[in-house]
Structure 1
Amino acid sequence: MIDDKKIRCLRQALAAWPKAELGHFPTPLEPLQRLHGSHNENRLWIKRDDCSGLGLGGNKVRQLEYYMGDAMARQSDCVLSTGAVQSNYMRTLAAAAAKLGLECHIQLESRVSDPDEDYLKSGNVLLDKMFGATIHHYAEGEDESGADAAIEALAAKLQESGKKPYIVP
């Protein structure tokens, strides 16, 4: 069990980092009634991060508060990242950028062989666009070093045009 002193120490350490307030926290804990038998003393609970209020929620909002806080502290005017075509993280990044008034460039990696047009245009991709993200495609799949090089090249191009890019890991 973590004691109060350790919690205070952790909170102080986190307070040293810039943070953009993006979500509604803390999110509620709810008991999973149907999974709790009357004979079982241990109750199961679920953390409702879907209630965080940003881009359909999720646990990604918490980490993006720190990345976006750092981007804002560095006076960046655009953010970039790379992920899978239907990535929840990319969707949440696009929502965070929209909320903070930052330009957003998302490099989507094709990780599914022979995807149909619907897969490439619906779901999170559609939401990315609705949040105002500019979509870039990286067709090589899960080639991490190649994708990283491509996002670095995009950041350099944006910087040459006068932008202040921030690459979100």
Structure 2
Amino acid sequence: MPSSRQLDLSHFPRRTLLENPTPIQHLARLSAHLGGANLYVKRDDLIGLGGGGSKLRKLEFLLGEACELGADTIITVGARQSNHARLTAAVAARAGLACELVLTRAVPRFDSDYTDNGNILLDDLFGARVHDLPGTANALEFAEQRADELRAQGRNVYVCPLGGSSAVGCLGYADCAAEIVAQADAQGIAFDRIVVPNGSGGMQAGLVAGFIALGLDPSIVAAHTVLAQAEPMRTTTLDKANQTAQLIDANLHVESSAIVIDETQRGPGYGIPTDSMREAVRLMASMEGLLLDPVYGGKAFAGLLHSVRSGEYVAGQNILFVMTGGLPGLFAYRSAF
């Protein structure tokens, strides 16, 4: 999947959080076991800071913007076991910024594993102040009000949206698109599909914008939504992809056909386990020694497995799955397994 174009993001403020490009690895045992397509993984779970995970790609640009604006405090929002919130707290600790997390009880779980372990334990270790809100609360509205309170005290506050999925944050995955293209070219692999989870839409939006900026087909990216239903998520992701593309180049435009989203693995709702997720997590762990998180990666990989087993992805095709990390979430979901 070589490109004749280059992607230059050097004019955007950025704080380096990734030491190297994350590797692409072949899932040889699992591919042979399934007897279908050749499966590969992009190991974004290996980005090490704060317990690791793909949100650090977005946070490179978000933190860059926050520091450019002279922020001394960063506030973000999410569910109680938010990976993005945990990594925002870690990044703030490294940068010397105060951090406040506005977390909602969006998932109907009240056991101690979920409420006090996993990401929420790490949020505390990183020194973040956590605001614990009910699931019905408007977290971003609360965050903006809290930011105004702190600004009245003379603080310079940067508010980061759900999942870090502003257009600035999505630049991190536009950059990842260029990284994948360079690695595929170096390894002599042509990927037929790139499979990702879609929560707040930023990963898919950024990848799509990146592929368009590189002059490549963006519909190679296929997402499995884990938060909202497919149609509203398609609208949200398309909007974010266009905002990101136009940050890169005002002449770029993303068509609706570029946004490929499947909702069949979402189950009863965000953060609620499904049998197919459990099977996907166990299969990946037992055959490849790799750990998927139960909220994002587990459900998206379950979708990939279904596509292989149903013949949608066939022998000879090369399918890349982006492993987003989120390992601490497994400990919060102990009872699900």
TM-score band, normalised by shorter chain: 0.7 to 0.9
Distance 1:32 1:20 in 2: 32
What CA distance in whole angstroms lies between the structure 2 residues aligned with 1:110 and 1:165?
A: 24
Q: Deviations over 1:6-59 (max 9, x none)?
A: xx1xx22x2221011112230111110112339x79532111112111112111
Matched letter for residue 71 of structure 2: S
Does 74-83 or 117-126 show the bigger shift? 117-126
Give the CA deviation at 1:162: 1.4
Q: Mark the CA change 1:37 to 1:121 in structure 2 (over 3 Å): closer, same or farther.
A: closer
Q: Does 1:33 align with 2:28?
A: yes
* Residue in structure 2 matched with residue 89 of structure 1 by the alignment: 84
CA distance in 1, matches of 2:16, 2:95: 10
Whole-angstrom distance in 1 between the partners of 2:64 and 2:79: 24
| Structure 1 residue 17 corresponds to structure 2 residue 9 | no
Question: What are the superposed Cα offsets for residues 116-135 of structure 1, whole Å, 9 maximum, x if unpaired?
Answer: 34422211111011011111
Residues 1:154 and 2:146 aligned together: yes
Amino acid at match of 2:127: G
* Matching residue's letter, 2:150: L
Residue 91 of structure 1: how far off its partner (Å): 0.7
- CA contact 1:94–1:132 (8 Å) conserved in 2: yes
Select 1:55's aligned residue among 22, 27, 50.
50
Aligned to 2:222: none
For 2:70, the equivalent position in structure 1 comes to: 75
Deviations 1:114-164, CA, capped at 9 Å, x for gaps: 61344222111110110111111121x154xx2221111100011111110
| Separation in structure 2 between the aligned mates of residue 43 and residue 157 of structure 1, nearest angstrom | 53
Q: Indicate if the aligned counterparts of 1:24 and 1:51 stay in contact, CA closer than 8 A.
A: no
Where structure 2 has 5 or more consecutive residues not aligned to the other structure, the ranges are 162-337
TM-score, structure 1 normalization: 0.87
Q: Give the TM-score normalised by the residue count of structure 2.
A: 0.45
Q: Which has the higher contact order (CA 8 A, sep 6+)?
A: 2
CA distance in 2, matches of 1:31, 1:113: 37
Deviates more, 1:83-92 or 1:119-128: 119-128
Name the aligned partner's letter for residue 36 of structure 1: S
Matched to 1:35, the amino acid is L
> In 2, distance between residues paired with 1:90 and 1:70?
17
Structure 1 residue 99: Cα displacement: 1.1
Q: How does 1:112-123 map to 2 (within 5 A)?
A: 112-113=107-108, 115-123=110-118
| Greater shift in the superposed pair: 83-92 or 112-121 | 112-121
Is the CA contact 2:103–2:139 (under 8 Å) kept in the aligned structure 1? Answer: no
Q: 1:113 to 1:43 in 2, by over 3 A?
A: closer
- How far off is 1:93 after superposition? 0.8
Residue 15 of structure 1: SS of its match in structure 2? coil
C-alpha separation between the residues in 2 aligned to 1:51 and 1:149? 33
1:3 alignment partner in structure 2: 3
Instruction: Indicate the RMSD between aligned Cα atoms, in angstroms.
Output: 2.1
Moved more, 56-65 or 106-115: 106-115
